[in-house]
Structures are given as C-alpha cells and as structure tokens.
Structure 1
Amino acid sequence: LKGVEEPAPRTVWLLCAPSLEDVLPTIRSRCRHLVLRTPPVAAVADVLIRRDGIEPEAAHAAAHATQGHIGRARRLATDERARARRATVLKMPLRVDDIGGCLRAAQELIDAATEDAKQVAEDVDVKETEDMKAALGASAGGRMPRGTAGVMKELADRQKRRSTRTQRDSLDLALTDLTGFYRDVLAIQLGSRVALANGDVRDALDRVARASTPERTLRRIEAIVACRQALDRNVAPLLAVEAMAVSLRAG
C-alpha cells in the first residue's frame, strides 16, 4: 500500500486484474481505473485487412476463430501450419470414442504443441544466436573467441527454458480452441443465437451436439479447465491431456 501511495521517483505501477472487484478496496481507491475489453470480431478483421493486407474472407474467418485475439488471428490467417494445427485440435472431439482413440488424440495434441514451439524457436533462436556470436566477436568461419563458451551455454539454456514455456503456452492455446468447440456445441444444444467461433466445422459441431446433452457438454468443458489447471501445477503434459481425453469420452 505504501509503495502505491508514494512510489519511487519516475515509477508508474501497472496493476492488472480480471475485474475491479478482484482488487482490494484499499488498493482500488488509490488507483486510476482503465477498463480494457476484447475487441469485437469485426474490428479484428478490419485490422487484418487494412494493416496486413489479408483477404476479407480469410480475415473474418480468422477473427471468428480466435474470438478477438489479434495476434493469433493474424497468424491463423497467414500461416498454413497454424491452420493445420487448429484443425488437429478441432478433430479431437470426434476421435475419443474409445480409450485407444483418446490416447492417440492426446499424443497428437502434444505433438502439435511441440511442433508449434519448435516453429517459434526457429523464428527466434537462430537470429538470437547469430547476434550473440557477432557481439562476442566470432570469426568469419564461426570460431568463437576464448572465454565465450560459458556465455553461449547460458544462451542455449535460456532458449531451452523458453522452448518449454512456449510448448506449454501452445498447448494452452490448443485447449482454449477445444473449449471454444464445446462452447459452440453448447450454444447449438441450447438453441442460442450467439455467433459460432468454429462455424467452419459446423458438421462436427452438429454431430457432437446430437450425440450428447448440455449437461455432458458442460462436464467436458470442466474437464478441459481441469487439464489447464493441472498444467499450471506442472503435471506432465501428456499425462494431463490423456486424463482430459478420457474424461471427454466418459463425459
């Protein structure tokens, strides 16, 4: 409280919370409030069209699929591999009919997240490593000066840790897509007029909706939430996803 009331010189505190009610009143009363909201689908599509030159149809499809996340929408609209990985995720609800299918689907989800992390690493690590070598004075043949091996090892270790975090983040995004699938299923089951995030796989949504009930759909969403919580507790990713896949079948 003292730090907020009397911050150090040239210090600005940015306190982030899901809502104002999540902040203690004593802190809330001493802050300037700035409410952020998820941009609507139309606004995201407009940014992709005007800023990135993406075709309107692809821009609107990506904006709907990512529900207001501009960065993910841009990647989905411009990266064929990102679209392929999303397609793998959205096939999972149709592949958990038996235990074998659950385990295979879980492994494919983990593989997709690993591949996604690998792609990100390729985009970042190579340039980062080359920049470090240049800064340390590497020769034209790539030979490093004496005494720099420790610095390069530290960089490699940092990149490895980042790769692990990226894989977890990619898996969490996949689980978010999976939650969106069942959210659409629930909307169909309840006859809601809410816009579907995954209208491009409407046949799959209708198939799952007909084969279950709203109660079962809610239990499946809860299973995905439990998986995300398990990953936050550092449960082995494959184990957590396999448990979720079995729950999707049994739910």
Structure 2
Amino acid sequence: MSVWDDIVGQHRVVDQLRTVASCDPQSIAQSWLICGPPGSGRSNVARAFAAALESPDHGLGDEPTKTTMNVLSGSHPDVSVLATNKVTIGIDEVRELINLSEQMPSTAPWRIIIIEDVDRMLERTTNVLLKEIEEPSEHTIWLLCAPSAQDVLPTIRSRTRIVNLAVPSTKAVAEFLESNTGVEHKIAIRAARLSEGHIGVARLYATDEQVMSDRDELIVGVLNLRRASDAIVLASRLIDSAQDQAMEDATREADKAKEDFLRINGLSPSDRIPPKLRSAFNALTKKEELRRKATRRSRDVLDRALNSIASIYRDVAVLQNNAEDSVGMINLENRSAITELSVQLDRQGAVRRLEDVATARRRLAGNVNPALVFEALFCALLV
C-alpha cells in the first residue's frame, strides 16, 4: 500500500508532490496552499504529502513505513493538524502553532503544520500567520488547505506554492469505493454519481442506507412541491432528519474518542479512570461539547441537502440545453419527473432556482434559523 493510495482522481498532483518529496530538502518550498472543492480530498493530499516528506523512503515504497503510518493516523510528533468545527479559526490557536513551528523536529526531517480550512481565518488571524508563511523556520513546512486560492487573502496566496486539485471523476470515485468499502459495483457507481465527486459524501451514500434513503425522499419531496403547506412540511421533515443524523454522528465520534483515549492510556472500558486523567476524559464526554458537534454536523447535513436540491435544477438545465450526452444527469432515478419539470420551467426559471439555493446557503452561513431558511427556499421553488 502506497502513501498515495487513498488520493482519488488526482494523478497529476500526486506525480508532482511525489517528485517534490524526493527532492533535495534545500530545494523544497516551505509554504504550500492546497486548493480543491469540498470533497476533492485536499486534507488527505496534505497528510499524504506530509507522510512522504517525513518518511525515509519519501513515499516511494510499495509498503508504508512506520513513519508514514504514524503521520497518516495523526500520531506523529512532528506533524500537527489544525482542524476546526467552528465557523472561524481562532487567533490563539494560530499563535500556538506558530510557537510550535519554532521548535526543531524531534524525530523527522521536518516539523510540518497542516491547517485545514485556512479560509475560515479572519483577517487579523491571517496577519498573525503571514510572517511565518513568508519566512518559515528552517525546519518547518506549512501546508494550508482551502477551497480555492481566491478564498485566501492575497498576502497569503502570494507567499505560498499553490496546488490545485481537480473534481474526481465518477469512475475514479466508484473504483475507490469498491476497493475501500467493499460495496458492489452498482452501489458504488450510484453513490459516486450522486456525490458529484465529493469523496466523503460518496462513501457516506455507499455505506449508509438511511442517508441514501433520506436523499431520495428529499429529491422526490422537492419534485412534488405544489403548495406552501408542502414546503413547510418538507422543511420540517428535513430539519428533523438533519438533527437526528447529526446527533448520531456526534455520539459515534465521541464514543470513538473515548475508545482511543482508553486504548492510548492502556485502560479497558471497565477500568476506573485515574484521577490525573479524569479531567481529560471528562472533556470528551461533556454534553455541551456533544451539542456543539451535533450543531456543526447538522449544518453539514443541511449543506449536503442544498447540494442535492441544486442538482435537480442542474439536471433541468442540462435537459433544456440538450447537454445530457456531454455532461450526463445526476438524478437518473428521477429522470421522468425532472424531464417534466424542464418543460414547466423556462431557462430563466431554472437559473433563478439555482440562485435561490445559493441564497439559502448564504443565509445558513449567516446563522439564520435553518427552519426559516428551508421554508423560504421550498416556497421559492414552487412551480
């Protein structure tokens, strides 16, 4: 298994970074900006690149080294990852990373710092980071991740080497699902198509029947919108489903964190937590932390719902412009109803509804009540 095996549909980028990792260390750029749309795997690319940079075989071997496995599992002492469930990345978090970046690596050639979603930094936070990106410590490499270079301030953009990821093809995502989840070909193809190249969503669709069923119900619900009462009922059903999914995800993650904590500290589930570890363990089980994670997961579910809704009107536009042969349809299972909708709407109507979805996304990002956002959206989509 190569360090790059889990990178889907990014052959050009993998070739580029594989070459860089095996170069003379003196010639390696120390500040990188890895850009790609949601689901393209930018964080995975950053981790794989970090593993290749730290590994004695530079990630060229067919079998992972111990260093590689530690980096990819998040347990390497010289590779730090800043990920956040919050709307913005805090200035104190960045200052801590800067202090860490000044330290020499303990076992590997580099101290590598990965910042996911660097676009979530406010300008004053970015300014704190700027000097380190411009003049990194001698043994430090910064790997920043963002949806696109345009989402990052020009001062950061101009001081990094930019790597742009492509949207993985349906075929590449389906092959990844088959080899990594063991699902049958038919399920993998459908999950890959409905995910529109988003690897994480594709895995979710392929492995969770309830999530796939919820999507199917949402598409049918939108296509059957006729009255304002339909819009209100559908919005309520969607919000309830999102909250249920989010709480399940957050609980599952908390349980996994507890299991990892016990394993790392050599404890069994029945063991009493030693007093010196109790505060750290209790922090994993706080109800407010669980609620915070569930709120964030709920927003992720609703964002995924917006993508699904937008795919309906994308398909309508494809049919209206006779473009199915060149770009294909996403919602093939609903082709008949979407064909009927493409006749009912003119081209301007289809575009306007895509704009309505974009407006709903902005309102969600602005912390408007989700129920109101979707009630307004579904009313706007009425034919």
Return the TM-score normalized by structure 2: 0.58
Aligned residues: 250
* Structure 1 residue corresponding to 2:323, chosen from 185, 192, 207: 192
1:209 is aligned to 342
Identify, as 1 or 2, the structure richer in helix: 1
2:300 counterpart letter in structure 1: D
What value does the CA root-mean-square deviation take over the aligned residues? 3.0
Q: Distance in 2 between matches of 1:66 and 1:212?
A: 25
2:217 is aligned to 88
Deviations 1:206-229 (A, max 9, x none): 122122111111111111111110
User: Are 2:292 and 1:167 equivalent residues in the alignment?
Assistant: no
Report the Cα offset of residue 12 of structure 1: 2.4
2:75 is aligned to none
Q: 1:142 to 1:94 in 2, by over 3 A?
A: farther
Q: Distance in 2 between matches of 1:88 and 1:246?
A: 18
Does the aligned pair in 1 maintain the 2:223–2:338 contact within 8 Å?
no
* Structure 1 residue corresponding to 2:282, chosen from 148, 152, 172: 152
1:2 counterpart letter in structure 2: K
2:104 is aligned to none
Query: What does residue range 1-251 of structure 1 map to in structure 2 within 5 Å?
Result: 1-20=130-149, 27-129=156-258, 140=270, 152=282, 155-156=285-286, 157-193=288-324, 194-249=327-382
Q: 1:59 to 1:132 in 2, by over 3 A?
A: closer
Task: Tell which deviates more after alignment, 126-135 or 226-235.
Answer: 126-135
Q: Percent identity?
A: 35
Does the aligned pair in 1 maintain the 2:231–2:379 contact within 8 Å?
yes
Report the Cα offset of residue 150 of structure 1: 10
Q: Distance in 1 between matches of 2:158 and 2:314?
A: 36
1:239 counterpart letter in structure 2: L
2:87 is aligned to none
Q: Distance in 2 between matches of 1:115 and 1:245?
A: 21
| Counterpart secondary structure, 1:13 | strand
Report the Cα offset of residue 176 of structure 1: 0.8
| Counterpart secondary structure, 1:34 | strand
Q: Distance in 1 between matches of 2:146 and 2:246?
A: 28
| Counterpart secondary structure, 1:33 | strand
Q: Distance in 1 between matches of 2:187 and 2:242?
A: 23
Q: Distance in 1 between matches of 2:179 and 2:268?
A: 42
Report the Cα offset of residue 142 of structure 1: 8.1
Q: Distance in 2 between matches of 1:234 and 1:144?
A: 41
Q: Distance in 1 between matches of 2:284 and 2:261?
A: 11
| Counterpart secondary structure, 1:68 | coil
Q: Distance in 2 between matches of 1:150 and 1:3?
A: 31
Q: Distance in 1 between matches of 2:251 and 2:156?
A: 43
1:165 counterpart letter in structure 2: R
